[in-house]
Amino acid sequence: MNPVNRIAYYSEARPPTSADTVYHDLIGAWTDTSSGPPHDIYFRLPDDTDWTKSTGAPFDLAATIHAATTKTPPVDADEWGFWDSVSGLLRKCTWANLKSTLKTYFDSIYGPIGTAHAQNTDTGTTSNTFTIDSDSVLGKFIFDVLTGAADKSVTFTNVAITDDRIITFQDATGTVAFVADIGNNANLSAAAQAAISAAHTKQHAIDSAADHTGFGDSATKNVGTAAGTVAAGNHNHSGVYEPASANLKLMETVIPIDYCTNGIVADPGASVEYESGNFSAFTREFSGTANQDVRFQWPVDTLIDTSVKPQFLVEYVAADATAPAEGEIVAFSLAGYSVGNGDDVDGVFGAAVTSSKTYGAGAAADDRDTTDRSGDVTVTDLAAGETVMFQLIRLATTTDTYAGPLKVTNVRVFWKKL
């Protein structure tokens, strides 16, 4: 069928004739050589001599597309129409053509997945943020540290890894040094930490005075020897010598139980001598079924470091015929307040702190034991040179689960010296 290349508008009372030239050329403008008001639509094919009146409504392309059946997704053989800017005619292409053309275009702008990208290149100290899509098959960043007259380095800060990933580290030659499996929150495994330490830690051995350039002559300054001992000679030093271990400053005060007075809750047994073979000690027996307590004074040393709170433990003998079973607990609490010259002796105890022991298998009657050293005890108004009033309670009805009595021999208070 030949295409329509001209249309005309005339009234039905006066249709166009072959001689009429009122028409619109589809690639030209309106031409008018006749008279009469346009009304109806007529068309004429290229080879026709007369006009033909259109009997239907005008074709609505937009409405036709909108009403068409939806198809998703398109397949490679599906076709799209378009206007050819070269020929000025209607043309078509397939969905496969469109995808291929778009891929060629975008590949020239963005690298495909797995490409080592060179963008965001820094030649100075500019900071960049890099993100790898967690759904990517492979993500790589290549950091080139140029060598020159001075050493160069790359520093990574604010590294956030939100999923389990593998990071490969290389040495200066590009050889893989180790592979780190980094889990959630970027916590390095023990193996990864050890590998980092082995790869990046330098060991410096100092074997002789020659390793101490500028330290002075050996008679006054050469302290170390190859054997690791202190060399002979005078060793000048200014300042205070600090002990190698802070525990050297940890002091212990032993309070015998017969030094204690009766308590506030309920009194344990009176102080009596307990003997077992060659062993002998004054003890007070604390019940395993009811809370009992004692009080005692602790003279605070004038050299105490009050910034470090005291701690305690209890020494005792489980002399009952039924020894503590596996899993049973012995527990005591301690609370105290400090009074100085001119203070009212009736003070307010600080918060009680617990010292306990959880038994394993194998306990026997007449075993000597101690509770574990407690946490920090907050003594109200603790000050050097004063006196602390302590209250010791066996927590028989709460934390303590061993029903047998305990013969307590002493209480040990730990404190730090200035």
Question: What confidence score (pLDDT) does residue 209 get?
Answer: 44
Rounded CA gap, 410 and 87, in Å?
109
Mean pLDDT, range 350-371, rounded to an integer: 95
Maximum Cα–Cα distance for the chain, whole Å?
146
pLDDT above 90: residue 190: no
The mean pLDDT value for 6-33 works out to 49
Query: What pLDDT sits at residue 54?
Result: 60
238: how many CB neighbours lie within 10 A of its CB? 4
Q: Is pLDDT at 68 greater than 70 in this prediction?
A: yes
Q: Give the pLDDT of residue 311.
A: 96
Q: Give the number of residues written for the chain.
A: 418
Q: What is the pLDDT of residues 208-256, one digit of tens each?
A: 444 444 444 444 445 555 555 566 666 565 555 555 544 557 899 999 9
Please give the span between the terminal C-alpha atoms of the chain, in angstroms, as a whole number.
111
Share of the chain above pLDDT 90, in %: 44
pLDDT the model gives residue 58: 58
In this model, does residue 74 exceed pLDDT 60?
yes
pLDDT of 286 above 50: yes
The pTM (predicted TM-score) of the whole model is 0.45
- pLDDT confidence band for 88 (50 / 70 / 90): confident
**291-322 core/surface letters (b: 16 or more CB in 10 A; e: else):** bbbbebebebeeebebebbbbbbbbbbbbbee
Q: Hunting for tokens 């009304």 — which residue is that?
A: 39
In whole angstroms, give the CA distance from residue 45 to residue 34.
20
Is the model's pLDDT at 417 over the cut of 60?
yes
Q: What does the pLDDT look like over 405-415, one tens digit per residue?
A: 999 999 999 99
| pLDDT for the residue 224 | 55
pLDDT > 70? residue 132: no
pLDDT value at residue 226: 56
Q: Which of 405, 387, 344 is nearest to 255 (CA)?
A: 387
Q: What pLDDT is attached to residue 178? A: 60
> In the predicted model, what is the mean pLDDT of residues 263-274?
94
- pLDDT tier at 134, thresholds 50, 70, 90: very low
When pLDDT is cut at 50, 70 and 90, the band that residue 353 belongs to is very high
**Ordered structural domains, the chain, with CATH:** 6-53 (no CATH), 72-117 (no CATH), 249-416 (2.60.120.260)
Instruction: Note whether 413 and 310 are within 8 A (CB).
Output: yes
